[in-house]
C-alpha cells in the first residue's frame, strides 16, 4: 500500500433536498421526496426524515408514498442543483491544488504532502466550514489514506459532520460495518455474500481473496482489497468538458433520409452512452448539416437536463427535419451535446419510470462490456460501429 497519502472525500447531504430547503425554509424538518410524481416515477432524492420510513433513492415513487403518505413530493429543478454544484466546485478549486468531482454532489481532494505545513484534517475541516457558510448547504467529510476508506468514513459521519481515519486503522474501522457499506457492493452482490454467510466487513477481511475471485471474478479481488482498506486509485484532476460531439462525412453525398436518420440515431445512442459513462447530462442539442456545395447550417435547442437516448433521439430527429429543407445532396451530418453538467442518469429522470432506468443501466453494462452497438435500436444496425477520439470527444 502506498504510504503518506491523505485523501479527503466530501459529499453534500441530501443535496437536492438541501437545495430546495435553501429556497423554501418551510420544507425544513419535513419528509421530502424529489422525483417524478406519477405512480411509475422513482425517488431521485429524499430527506433524512423520509429515510426513517425506509425510503431510499431509486425506490418507486408509488412505494415511497405508501411508506410515508405525508411526504411532500417535489419534481425538482436540475438547473438550480447544477448551479449550486458549480458554486461549490469553484470554492474547492480556489482552496486546493488537486481535486476530483465524481458526481454533482461528491468530491475527492488530495492533501498528500500538505500535512508538512498544516494538519490535513484541519485544512479539510476549514474548507468544509467555508462551503457550509458560503453555500448554506450541509456537507460531510471523510479523511484517510485512500478514496475507499474516506468515502465510507463520510457515510459514517453523516449527516453534516466529519470523520478522520488515522493511517493504520483502516481495517479496524471497516471491520464492524455491514458489507453494504463497501463501495461497489450493491444489492445483488450483497445477497450473494449473505448467502455465503458474510454480513460484516470483518468476515470479508479474513476470507481468502481467491474465494471471492472464484465467486465474483476479477471484482472479487477488488472487493477483498476494499474490505481490507486497500485502494491504490488516484484522485483524477477535474476538468469540465463543455460539450461532446460526433460527425459523419459520407463517402458519397446523399439524400437518403432513412439512411441519414439511421446515422443520427446511431450517433445519438453513442453520445448518450458516453454521457452516462461519464455521469454527465446535457441541456442543449445541436444538429449540423453540410451540403454538397459546402454550405453549412446548424440549429440547436435547449432541453431539460438529460442523458436518456429516447429523449435525445426525439430532439435530434425534430431538429434534423427542421433543418433539412433544401432537398440537396448532403455531405456531412453532425450532433453536439453542450451545457454539460455532472449528475447520475437516474437522479435526473424526474419523470422516467423504474423500467426505463433499469433498461438503460442494462444496455450500458452490455455495451461497455462487449463493445459499442452490442445492443442498440434496430435502425442503428444500418450504421457500422463508431468510436471516439478520447482527446477531443469527436467520433472517429
Strand 72-74 with 99-103, pairing: unpaired
Could you tell me how many residues make up the chain?
A: 396
Helices (H) and strands (E) in the chain, counts: 15, 13
Catalytic residue among 49, 100, 106, 261: 106
CA distances to 243, 305, 341, 358 from 338, in Å: 4, 10, 9, 25
Burial of 176 (0-12, 13-18, 19+ CB in 10 A): exposed
Q: Is 11 annotated as a binding residue?
A: yes
Q: Can you tell me whether residue 207 is helix, strand or coil?
A: coil
**Which uninterrupted H or E stretch holds 34?**
strand 32-35
> Is 115 annotated as ligand-binding?
no
Measured between its terminal Cα atoms, the distance across the chain in Å is 39
Q: Are 40 and 64 in contact (CB under 8 A)?
A: no
Beta bridge partners of 335: 246, 287
Q: Is 187 annotated in the active site?
A: no
Active-site amino acid positions: 106
Instruction: Please state the residue numbers annotated as binding site for Mg(2+).
Output: 11, 105
Amino acid at each position: 500500500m502506498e504510504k503518506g497519502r491523505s485523501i479527503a472525500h466530501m459529499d453534500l447531504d441530501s443535496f437536492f433536498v438541501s437545495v430546495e430547503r435553501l429556497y423554501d425554509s418551510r420544507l425544513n424538518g419535513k419528509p421530502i421526496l424529489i422525483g417524478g410524481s406519477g405512480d411509475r416515477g422513482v425517488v431521485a432524492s429524499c430527506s433524512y426524515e423520509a429515510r426513517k420510513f425506509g425510503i431510499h433513492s431509486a425506490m418507486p415513487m408509488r412505494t415511497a408514498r405508501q411508506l410515508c403518505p405525508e411526504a411532500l413530493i417535489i419534481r425538482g429543478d436540475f438547473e438550480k442543483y447544477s448551479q449550486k454544484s458549480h458554486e461549490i466546485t469553484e470554492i474547492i478549486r480556489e482552496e486546493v491544488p488537486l481535486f476530483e468531482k465524481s458526481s454533482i454532489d461528491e468530491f475527492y481532494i488530495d492533501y498528500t504532502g500538505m500535512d508538512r505545513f498544516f494538519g490535513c484534517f484541519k485544512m479539510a475541516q476549514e474548507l468544509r466550514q467555508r462551503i457550509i457558510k458560503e453555500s448554506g448547504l450541509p456537507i460531510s467529510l471523510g479523511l484517510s489514506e485512500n478514496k475507499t476508506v474516506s468515502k465510507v468514513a463520510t457515510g459514517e459521519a453523516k449527516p453534516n459532520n466529519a470523520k478522520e481515519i488515522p493511517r493504520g486503522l483502516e481495517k479496524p474501522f471497516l471491520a464492524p460495518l455491514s458489507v453494504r457499506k463497501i463501495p461497489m457492493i450493491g444489492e445483488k452482490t450483497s445477497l450473494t455474500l449473505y448467502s455465503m454467510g458474510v454480513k460484516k466487513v470483518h468476515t470479508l477481511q479474513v476470507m481468502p481473496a481467491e474465494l471471492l475471485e472464484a465467486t465474483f471474478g476479477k471484482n472479487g479481488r477488488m472487493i477483498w482489497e476494499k474490505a481490507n482498506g486497500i485502494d491504490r486509485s488516484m484522485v483524477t484532476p477535474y476538468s469540465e468538458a463543455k460539450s461532446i460531439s460526433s460527425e459523419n462525412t459520407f463517402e458519397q453525398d446523399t439524400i437518403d433520409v432513412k439512411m441519414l436518420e439511421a446515422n443520427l440515431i446511431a450517433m445519438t445512442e453513442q453520445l448518450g452512452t458516453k454521457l452516462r459513462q461519464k455521469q454527465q447530462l446535457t441541456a442543449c442539442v445541436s444538429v449540423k448539416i453540410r451540403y454538397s456545395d459546402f454550405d453549412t447550417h446548424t440549429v440547436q435547442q435547449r432541453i431539460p437536463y438529460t442523458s436518456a437516448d429516447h429523449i435525445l433521439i426525439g430532439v435530434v430527429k425534430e431538429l434534423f427535419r427542421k433543418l433539412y429543407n433544401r432537398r440537396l445532396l448532403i455531405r456531412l451530418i453532425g450532433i453536439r451535446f453542450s451545457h454539460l453538467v455532472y449528475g447520475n442518469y437516474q437522479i435526473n429522470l424526474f419523470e422516467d419510470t423504474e423500467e426505463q432506468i433499469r433498461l438503460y443501466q442494462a444496455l450500458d453494462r452490455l455495451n461497455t462490456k462487449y463493445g459499442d452497438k452490442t445492443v442498440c435500436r434496430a435502425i442503428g444496425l444500418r450504421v457500422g460501429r463508431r468510436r471516439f477520439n478520447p482527446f477531443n470527444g469527436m467520433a472517429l
